[in-house]
């Protein structure tokens, strides 16, 4: 979809935009470029759980920029009032509220259509996904208990790592409360897709905008399987190129951790990917028929494998 800023193009000076307007056009909001949008008058509430963290703050800002969000509830165990106050000053559609601590989880979740969960500790140098699991599993279980009680019909977009484990945990919590719907629980593997698209386009010298590479399997190491043979546009890869691109896609998170010298992980690109997926959920809920994304979901695609990342269609 396209989006026009009348104030940037329809100037009184012979319709010639000023230098500042031209600059603003170049750095147009994510809702113009990274997220395809669909005009809708439907009121939609999005809750971000873990909004004060490294991923959560950027994700909150990006969701505030989405025209598909009417209400934005930001939740964390600490720091949320400041993030909410900051984000709320942005002159976009969503009304933003901040919620902090266990006693305010209900208010954050009540009425939510989409719940995005980036909560938990980030990867640090030397940490395996098993190490992450020991810490983040309990956090996810607590938050999903809140979802089960206060917004059981919401779409859940799970970002907290390790996704291969946190999604099954979330499923078990929802089952325990008798509200599990496998169609509404999705592990966000969009960053793997974003990386595959970017690396493939760079390698073959093609525009990244319009490039698509499906990624299946899981969201950790060798379980990440980019299908370059199904890329659009298709460009032949040598065996060496295919192996190299696959390895780089699988190790993308480690690449960022190393580049940040142990002082951070892939927070910005993950926030971008998470916002893309959440917005896709909203467009599907609003009735758009062609919304297809890759996601880690309960699946029968591979016999004996209960959860698998594959293409899914978002709809109401």
Mean local confidence (pLDDT), 225-248 = 98
Mean local confidence (pLDDT), 212-234 = 97
Contact by Cβ (8 Å): 283, 314: yes
| pLDDT at residue 316 in the model | 67
Terminal-residue alpha carbon distance, the chain = 20
| Residues in contact with 284: Cβ distance below 8 Å, sequence separation at least 6, in sequence order | 291, 313, 314, 315, 316
pLDDT tier, 42 (very low <50, low <70, confident <90, very high otherwise): confident
Mean pLDDT computed over every residue of the chain: 88
pLDDT tier, 166 (very low <50, low <70, confident <90, very high otherwise): very high
Residue 118, pLDDT > 50, answer yes
Higher pLDDT, 126 or 121: 121
Annotated catalytic residue 219? yes
Task: Give the number of other CB atoms < 10 A from CB of residue 308.
Answer: 19
Residue 124, pLDDT > 80, answer no
Contact by Cβ (8 Å): 251, 209: no
pLDDT tens digits, one per residue of 147-156: 999 999 999 9
The rounded Cα 54 to chain-centroid distance in angstroms is 14
Pairing status of strand 292-298 against strand 224-226: unpaired
Whole-number percent of the chain with pLDDT over 70 = 85
Active-site hit among 13, 89, 99, 219: 219
The pTM is what? Answer: 0.86
């Amino acid at each position: 979809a396209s989006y026009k800023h009348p104030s940037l193009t329809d100037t009184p000076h012979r319709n010639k935009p000023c230098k500042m307007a031209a600059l603003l056009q170049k750095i147009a909001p994510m809702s113009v470029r990274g997220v395809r949008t669909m005009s809708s008058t439907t009121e939609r509430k999005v809750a971000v759980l873990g909004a004060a963290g490294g991923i959560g703050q950027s994700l909150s800002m990006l969701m505030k920029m989405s025209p598909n969000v009417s209400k934005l509830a930001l939740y964390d165990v600490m720091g949320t009032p400041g993030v909410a106050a900051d984000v709320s000053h942005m002159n976009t559609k969503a009304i933003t509220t901040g919620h902090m601590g266990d006693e305010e989880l209900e208010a954050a979740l009540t009425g939510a259509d989409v719940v995005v969960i980036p909560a938990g500790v980030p990867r640090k140098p030397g940490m395996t996904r098993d190490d992450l699991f020991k810490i983040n599993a309990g956090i996810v279980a607590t938050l999903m208990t809140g979802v089960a009680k206060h917004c059981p019909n919401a779409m859940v977009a799970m970002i907290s790592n390790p996704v291969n484990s946190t999604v099954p945990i979330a499923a078990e919590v929802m089952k325990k409360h008798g509200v599990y719907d496998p169609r509404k629980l999705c592990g966000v593997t969009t960053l793997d897709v974003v990386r595959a698209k970017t690396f493939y386009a760079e390698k073959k010298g093609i525009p990244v905008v319009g490039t698509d590479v499906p990624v299946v399997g899981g969201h950790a190491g060798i379980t990440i399987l980019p299908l370059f043979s199904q890329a659009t546009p298709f460009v032949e890869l040598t065996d060496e190129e295919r192996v190299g691109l696959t390895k780089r896609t699988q190790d993308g998170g480690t690449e960022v951790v190393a580049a940040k010298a142990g002082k951070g992980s892939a927070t910005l690109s993950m926030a971008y990917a998470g916002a893309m997926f959440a917005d896709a959920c909203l467009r599907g809920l609003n009735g758009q028929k062609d919304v297809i994304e890759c996601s880690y979901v309960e699946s029968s695609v591979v016999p004996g494998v209960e959860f698998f990342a594959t293409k899914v269609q978002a709809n109401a």
